Structure 1
Amino acid sequence: MMNHLADGIMMMQIEDPGNFCDGAFLSWQNLWHAYANLQSYALLSAGQVLKDPHMESHALYEIDNFYPAVYARGYLESFWIRMKKGRAIVYDLKSVPQIAYGIRPMVFACMKAYEVTGDVKYKARASQLASWFSGQNPAHAAMYDPMTGIGFDGLSGPAQINRNSGAESTIEALLTMQVMEGVKN
């Protein structure tokens, strides 16, 4: 069962070297979105259990290629692709809204990559991505309050902060803080 599900996930990976979306796992048909995008974490976990380096290599391909592109662009919310002559043509690219459950999956995948490989570059990448919560985001605003433990709902626009703190945002922020606890660059 795990092999079958992992095969389906790997089929959804964009392989287009030189394109910013190279390595991304599509969320559905020709759509990528950040929220709950746990494919790399799932493949690393399955690969670890099944001792399957092929699964792990697909996950690391996304983490090594796509995650740095997401960070360099100030994070992303979603985009659509269509394939033309083997190239991914990106359209309807959106950088907002940005939400906590779009960030936490990348942080978890990086920390899982560190656990699986022992390579400290993945801890560093996790810290870099988690910095979204402390203000390294387009609004330059903290999205997590360490005094109260709440996580804000996210960015509605490049400088628009949604200061609501729903359960899912707070849980995602706390899960991120928990996995990053004790991590030093």
Structure 2
Amino acid sequence: MSAPARYERFPAPSFAHLRRLTDAGGLYEHARGTTPRREHGYCVDDVARALVVVCREDASAQDDLREQYLSFVLAAQDADGRFRNRRGTDLRFLDAPSVDDCWGRALWALGTAGADPRALAAFERGARWRSPSPRATAFAVLGAGEVLRGRPGHRGALDLLADAPEVIGRSVPRPEWPWPEPRLTYANAVLPEALLVAGAALDAPALVTDGLWLLGWLLDAQTRDGHLSLVPAAGRRPSDRGPGFDQQPIEAAALADACARAHELTGQDRWLTGILLATAWFLGDNDAGTPLHDPVSGGGCDGLERDGRNENQGAESTLALVSTLQQAAARLPAPALRVAG
């Protein structure tokens, strides 16, 4: 397994643009080019993702970001355990507590930061809830899996995992469309990854088998002519023929994370190929032949268009890039270039 010939080495993740988007209030959701759009404020969805990626770093250089993002997520939690998502620059939360994606992503982040007693206690409050959303549930499962790495018998995490497969869905007996939903939407690979996490933790081989099957199908369905051709922002139905555009970096990052999980469980090189394809997608091996990685800013561009890319470098896209490069650095044999940031 090696990088494509045109990439002698993959770049290492840079935190320079993430720091540019961060201030004392949180992580700005949107940017115009590389300039934060302060008028749009902050959201837990992005800050939680940011907490996950900084917790993956061993270096103390990101400790300040870890503390800042954790404090934001803790502040977003209601006393009953649910989470508010949107926060204005006046530091007031603007919406009601829910068990939507922000709840799931917050639990993912808190589980990842679970060595901190504050994070674990907040995870435990939030994990008492259940969401009807497959993706919110899947994000929460990832957090529960992280808690169980350090605390294998944690009751709240195990109970959440036990309830999750019914909400997430399982493969269906249609070879042409085994996906448990009528269309592919966003962050699709988190669903099979959650099945892998649940199956491994609960000693349920059928869940692992289902997760591997769905992930393999999803990877094949999004590979065209040797590169990733991702589900566009509008989604994809069984009858759709690609490529579709406004492809989103979150799709590549979700695939890289899920393939890393599958490789951890199986040791099979097929899943390293998935991480390789996701990383190469950011570097220009995609339907438009356009890099979404900005080596100057360290940021990630907001979408792949038919004739190029969206030049804005918001939080979600930058975090997707950082996350994918982290998986490449951790799993691919080709060494990563260390870059400033």
Highest CA radius of gyration, 1 or 2? 2
1:76 aligns with 2:231: yes
Letter matched to residue 137 of structure 1? N
The percent identity for this pair of structures is: 23
Aligned-partner residue type, residue 174 of structure 2: D
CA–CA separation in structure 2 for the residues paired with 1:14 and 1:103 = 24
Q: How does 1:30-41 map to 2 (within 5 A)?
A: 30-35=182-187, 37-41=189-193
Output the CA distance in 2 between the equivalents of 1:162 and 1:14. 36
Alignment partner of 1:173 is 2:325: no
Q: In the alignment, is the contact (CA less than 8 A) between 2:290 and 2:308 conserved in 1?
A: no
Q: One-letter code of the match for 2:245?
A: V
The match for 1:8 is: 167
Aligned to 1:133: 282
CA distance in 2, matches of 1:93, 1:32: 13
CA distance in 2, matches of 1:99, 1:91: 17
Residue identity opposite 1:163 in structure 2: E
Give me the whole-angstrom Cα distance separating, in 1, the residues matched to 2:242 and 2:172.
16
User: Deviations for 1:130-177, whole angstroms, at most 9, x for unmatched residues?
Assistant: 21101111111111124432011011x322310100011101110111
User: 2:230·2:248 contact (CA, 8 Å) conserved in 1?
Assistant: no
Are residues 141 and 70 of structure 1, via their aligned partners in 2, closer, same or farther at CA, if it must alter by over 3 Å? same
Whole-angstrom distance in 2 between the partners of 1:151 and 1:100:
8
How far apart in 2 are the matches of 1:15 and 1:131? Answer: 32
Count of aligned residue pairs for this structure pair = 169
Distance 1:118 1:79 in 2: 30
CA drift of 1:108 comes to 0.7
Alignment match, 2:248:
99
Instruction: Tell me the distance in 2 between the aligned counterparts of 1:96 and 1:71.
Output: 14
Distance 2:216 2:281 in 1: 19
Shift in Å, 1:66: 2.5
Corresponding residue for 1:110? Answer: 259
Quick one: which amino acid aligns to residue 79 of structure 1? Answer: R
Distance 1:167 1:115, change over 3 A: same
Which one-letter code corresponds to 1:9 in the other structure? I
Residue equivalent to 2:212: 60
Structure 1 residues 76 and 24, CA gap change in structure 2 (3 angstroms): same
Q: Secondary structure at the match of 2:222?
A: helix
For 1:36 and 1:80, the matched residues in 2 are separated by 13
Instruction: State the distance in 1 between where 2:178 and 2:328 align.
Output: 24
C-alpha distance in 2, partners of 1:120/1:37?
18
Is the aligned partner of 1:119 residue 2:268?
yes
Unaligned runs of 5+ in 2: 1-159, 335-341
Tell me the SS of whatever aligns to 2:184: strand
Structure 1 residues 147, 178: CA separation in 2 closer, same or farther (over 3 Å shift)? farther
Query: Displacement of 1:14 after TM fit?
Result: 4.4
RMSD: 2.3
Given the superposition, is the C-alpha separation of residues 113 and 153 from structure 1 closer, same or farther in structure 2, using an over 3 Å criterion? same
Separation of aligned partners in 1, 2:190 and 2:180: 9
Q: CA deviation at 1:35?
A: 3.3
Aligned to 2:97: none
CA gap of 1:147–1:50, structure 2 versus 1, over 3 A, is farther
Matching residue's letter, 2:286:
N
Q: Which has the higher strand share?
A: 1
Structure 1 residue matching 2:209: 3-state secondary structure: helix
